[in-house]
Structure 1
Amino acid sequence: MKYPNFIFVFILSVLTSCVKDGMPDSGEDKVKTGDVLPEFAVEMNDGNIISTEDVKGKVSVITFFHTLCPDCQTELPVLQKVYEEYSGDDGVVIFAVSREESDDDVSEYWDENGFTIPYSAQEDRAVYEMFSTLGIPKIYISDRKMVVRYIHSDEDMPTADVLNYEINSLINE
């Protein structure tokens, strides 16, 4: 019977298609380079709330991810490295926001990989959809005025050097 193979391939493709949520042009980037960050508030893994007000006056790096997404799995260690470089800098805030994932799942993944990046586990897409409806990972880097200056996705996943360059360019403005 051919259907079980088809079903297996279909399920596998759904599980690994975290980057594009369907066919090309099936979503939109709501926040674009030059836009001001939307108003948001998320509860972080340590219980603190980070909101738009908390990033005002700072360079911010906000990453949307899912731990089962292969591109996210590649990019999160890069983000961890960058986070470690700026974790003592009060003028830079770096955090990650999951998309449709429980705190238990994210916490387990963080523990397994030794990540210390602050994260907010979101079991829905409400916060994510303020920014985009077009795949993950998504990295938004904004300046002190909350203007988004750089956006990265699966099509241009940045290295730590690229992220450091972009962050430093905003710090030195």
Structure 2
Amino acid sequence: MIKKTIGAGILSGLLLFAFFQHFYKADRPEAIEASTTSSGIDIGLMAPSFTLKNLAGEEIALKDYKGRKIMLNFWATWCPPCKEEMPAMEKFYKRHSGDVEILAINLDPQNDVKAFAEKNELSFPILLDESGTTQQIYQIISIPTTFIIDEKGVILKKHIGSMSYEQMEELLK
């Protein structure tokens, strides 16, 4: 008898909980700035804003580049595919710096990123995600990961993995 009473009480509690969840959930905004799925930020939505320091210690915000197309690349100095794509990215930056801005967000700022950039003669902006917040916001699971963001701040494309120069050209189209 006691087991039946306890079971009925638990069942009643669960039903009451489900009822309140269904009818009293908070209103959700109709328009959202960024949506995510299990694979990360969705294409077609606004790129989440961020402010990070560059190698010179200056704060750079994504909104500073509004009106320009952006290639947003997440990478680390220890990552072989990231290292592999850096020369292609530099070549792409030199050729398309008037058309697209590269923002390379480094995920291991505890390493000597400045020395890495100098050794590899990288001239595009490198930003340091010291707290890991930007990585979390963009739900970066695998690196390198690259987003193409249009002039209005909308994510047009997402590429996971290393890219060749030709792939970068294709991604820009």
What TM-score results when the alignment is normalised by the length of structure 1?
Answer: 0.71
Assess if the C-alpha contact under 8 Å between 1:100 and 1:124 holds in 2. no
Match of residue 41 from structure 2: 31
Deviations 1:103-158 (A, max 9, x none): x611111111111121012233111111114111111111111111111112xx33
Cα distance, 1:28 vs structure 2: 4.1
Question: Residue 127 of structure 1: SS of its match in structure 2?
Answer: helix
- Alignment pair present for 1:158 and 2:160: no
Unaligned runs of 5+ in 1: 1-26
Instruction: Report the alpha carbon displacement of residue 92 of structure 1 after superposing the two structures with TM.
Output: 2.4
8 A contact 1:101–1:124 mirrored in 2:
no
Larger Rg: 2
Match of 2:118 in 1: 111
Q: Is the 8 A contact 1:78 1:160 kept in 2?
A: yes
| In structure 1, C-alpha distance between the alignment counterparts of 2:77 and 2:95, rounded to whole Å | 23
Q: CA deviation at 1:79?
A: 1.1
Mapped partners of 2:125, 2:149: distance in 1? 17
Which structure carries more relative contact order (alpha carbon 8 Å, separation 6+)? 1
Instruction: List runs of 5+ in structure 2 lacking aligned partners.
Output: 1-36
1:62 to 72, 75, 90: 72
Which amino acid in the other structure matches residue 86 of structure 1? H
Q: Is the CA contact (8 Å cut-off) linking 2:77 and 2:108 kept in structure 1? A: no
1:55-114 CA deviation, whole Å, 9 max, x = no partner?
A: 221100111100101111111221111111123x1x522121111323x61111111111
Q: Alignment RMSD, CA only?
A: 2.0
Look up the equivalent residue of 1:166 and give its one-letter code.
L
Match 1:136 to one of 143, 150, 154:
143
Structure 1 stretches (4+) deviating beyond 3 angstroms? none
Inter-partner Cα distance in structure 2 for 1:92 and 1:129: 24
**In structure 2, what is the Cα distance between the partners aligned to 1:66 and 1:86?**
23
Give the structure 2 partner of residue 43 of structure 1.
53
**Distance in 2 separating the partners of 1:45 and 1:131:** 21
The 2-side partners of 1:95 and 1:43 are apart by 11
The 3-state SS of whatever aligns with 1:132 is coil
Given the two structures, how large is their TM-score scaled by the length of structure 2? 0.71
CA separation of 1:110 and 1:53: change in aligned 2, threshold 3 A: same
Name the amino acid aligned to 1:148: I
